[in-house]
Structure 1
Amino acid sequence: MRNSTRLLAAVSLAVMSLAGGAAMAEDTLTFGTDATYPPFESLDASGKFQGFDIEVVQALCDHMKITCTFVNQDFDGIIPALQAKKFDAIISSMSITPERLKKVDFTSKVYNTPPAVAVPKDSKITEPTNAGLAGKTIGAQSSTTHANYATVHMKDAELKLYPTPDEYKLDIASGRLDAVIDDVVVLSEWTKSESGSCCKVLGTLPVDKEINGEGAGIAVRKGDDALREKLNEAIKTIRTDGTYKKIQDKYFDFDVYGG
C-alpha cells in the first residue's frame, strides 16, 4: 500500500439514471494503480500491468462486460488524481480506513492481510515491537497505513519514509536501515526472492483497525454510488462462482481474503 508521476489517461465514467436503478453508459473503466507493489500490482518486463489486484479487476470487468484499463500513478498523489477525474477508480492495495473514507468511497474489501516487520537475517532485533525497535531506524513507504502504524506504535524508533517500496528494500539490503514495515505478503514474497535474500520477516503486527482499516478495497469518488454498487455486485459474484479463489490460488497458498 504505497514512482515518478506518469502521464495519466483521463477517462470519464458516464452514468445514466433508469427506472429501478442506474446503468453505466460507457463500456470502459480506467483504474489508477501504483505498480510498485508485487505480488498485488506491478509491471512486467514489457511494461504490462500484472498482479493479484490487476487480475481481480480484470475478472470484475469481465463480469460487468466492460473493458478495464490501468494507468500508473504514484501512491502519494493517487487520491487527488482520482478526485481530479484522471481515472474512475483506484486499485492499489489501498486499505479502507476512517481517514480515507473522508475523501473517497470504497467497495467491500478485495483482500485483508496484516502488517509485518522485516529485518536483516543477522539482525539482533528479536521482536517487532516498540521496545524491540527502540533506537533503530525503520523504513516504510510514505502515505501508507504502515507508515502511520510505525508513527503511532513504534515511537521510539526513527522512521524513514520512501516514495516506493523499491527504495526501502535497497536501503535495508545495503545496511542503511535496521527494519522495514509493510504488508506481510509483500515482505514475505520479497524475502523469498533473490533481491530480498538479505532479510527475513520478523513477525506480523497486531492490527489497529483505526489505522489499518478493514482490508484493502477499490476506491471511487465520493458519491459515485452507481459504480461502487456495480463493483460490489461483481466482487460478490467472483467470490461466489470460484473466480476469486482461482486467482488467489495462483498467487497465495492461504486465504488472502481474511476474516
Structure 2
Amino acid sequence: MLRMSIQTILRGTLMAGGVGVFLAAASPVPVAAQDPTPMRIAVEGAFPPFNYLDANNKLQGFDIDIANALCEVGKFECQFIIEKWDDMIPDLIASKYDAIISSMSMSLERRQKVAFTEKYYNSPSVFIARKDSPIRDISPAALSGKILGVTSSTAQESYAKHFYPDMKKTVFRSSPELYKGLSDGSVDIILEDKLAIYDWIANTKAGTCCEFKGPDLVDVTYFGEGAGIALRMDDGDRLARLNAALKTIKEDGTYDMINAKYFPFSIQ
C-alpha cells in the first residue's frame, strides 16, 4: 500500500437553506515532508476505477493513488476537491485549484486552454453494446436509427458529434449513469474510454450484460495523446516538478505497483 501524505477536502453539493455545505476529512501531513508546497487537486469522483467515492465517502481509484504518490515524491501538501467535470477547466483557469488529476485526455482543444504534464496513462475509446444486441458494424451508416450514449463534455461526446452527426444521442452526466443507461436499455450503444469501462464489464454483475463492439478508436485530435495532469499555462514550476515526480515513480516501481492494483496489464 502507498503511504498516504495528504489532506482530503471533499467539496459536496449539498444545499441547506440556500447555503452550500462543504464536507471535509483531514489526515495529518507527515513530519518528513518539509515545507511542502500547497497544491489543490480537482477530481470528478465519479469515474471508477480511476476516481470514485467508496462506501465510506472516501476518494479511491487509480488517479487518486497516482496523485498521492506524486504528492509524496514531489513534496506537495495536497488537497482533493471534488468538482463537476464541466467546470474543471474553467475553474482551474480561475485559480479555484491548481491541478486536475482526473483522467483528462490531452486533446488539441484542451491544450489551447491549459498546460499538461507528460502522460500518466493511455487508453483508446471503444463502442460498447449489450451482448444480445444485433449491432455488429459500428459505422455511421450501420448505426443510423440507433440511440448512442455518451458522457457530457468528454472527448467521446465531441468525437460522436463529428463522426456520427445523424445519430440520436443521450448525454449522461457521469460514467456510472452512462453504464446504467446501456444496461437498462435506454440507449442502444455507448462510446466510452476503454480502460474506464473495463472494470465495470469485467468485475460487476451489471457489466456482464455488455461487450466491446468494433475496433479501438485512436484519434489524437479528439482523444489526445493519453491522460495528463492539467495546470494553468503560467504554472511552469509546478509542471516541471510534477513531470520530475512522475518520472521518479515510473522508475522506482511505484507506478507499476499502482497499475497492478487496478489492471492486469500495463496502461502506460
Structure-1 separation of matches of 2:22 and 2:85 = 13
Q: How does 1:188-227 map to 2 (within 5 A)?
A: 188-192=198-202, 193-227=204-238
Equivalence for 1:91: 101
Q: Is the 8 A contact 2:127 2:191 kept in 1?
A: yes
Quote the RMSD (CA, aligned, Å): 2.1
Corresponding residue pairs, total: 241
Q: Which residue of 2 aligns with 1:252?
A: 263
> Residue 153 of structure 1 is aligned with which of 163, 173, 186?
163
> Quick one: which amino acid aligns to residue 201 of structure 1?
F
Task: After TM superposition, give the deviation of residue 58 of structure 1 in Å.
Answer: 0.6
AA matched with 2:255:
Y
Per the TM alignment, residue 135 of structure 1 is displaced from its structure 2 partner at its CA by 1.6
Measure how far apart 1:197 and its partner are.
2.7
Give me the identity figure in percent: 39
C-alpha distance after superposition, 1:58-117 (max 9, x if no partner): 111110123322111010111111112111100111011111111111101011110011
Q: Does 1:228 align with 2:265?
A: no
1:243 maps to amino acid: T
- 3-state DSSP class of the match of 2:247? helix
TM-score by length of 1: 0.87
Give 1:42's aligned residue: 52
Match of 2:39 among 3, 9, 29: 29
Q: C-alpha distance in 1, partners of 2:198/2:213? A: 10
Q: Partner letter of residue 51 of structure 1?
A: G
1:177 deviates by: 0.3
Tell me which amino acid in the other structure corresponds to 1:239. K
Q: 1:76 aligns with which of 86, 96, 103?
A: 86
Is 1:51 the counterpart of 2:100 in the alignment?
no
In 1, Cα distance between the equivalents of 2:47 and 2:77?
A: 23
Q: Which blocks of at least 5 consecutive residues in structure 2 are unaligned?
A: 1-10, 15-20, 24-33
Letter matched to residue 167 of structure 1: E
Paired amino acid for 1:155: P
Alignment of 1:119-198 (within 5 A): 119-192=129-202, 193-198=204-209
Paired residues of 1:138 and 1:181 also in contact (CA < 8 A): yes
| Greater displacement, 196-205 / 66-75 | 196-205
Tell me if structure 2 keeps the 8 A contact 1:184–1:204: no
Q: 1:205: how far off?
A: 3.0
Task: Give the aligned partner of residue 19 of structure 1.
Answer: none
Q: What does residue 252 of structure 2 align with?
A: 241
Shift of 1:8: 7.2
> How far does residue 25 in structure 1 lie from its aligned partner after superposition?
6.9
Deviations 1:173-216 (A, max 9, x none): 22110001111112221122123232222244331111111001
Cα-to-partner distance string for 1:104-138 (whole Å, 9 max, x where unaligned): 11101011110011111110001333233222111
Task: Confirm whether residue 105 of structure 1 aligns to residue 115 of structure 2.
Answer: yes
Cα shift at 1:221:
0.9
Aligned residue for 1:13? none
Q: Which amino acid aligns with 1:247?
A: I
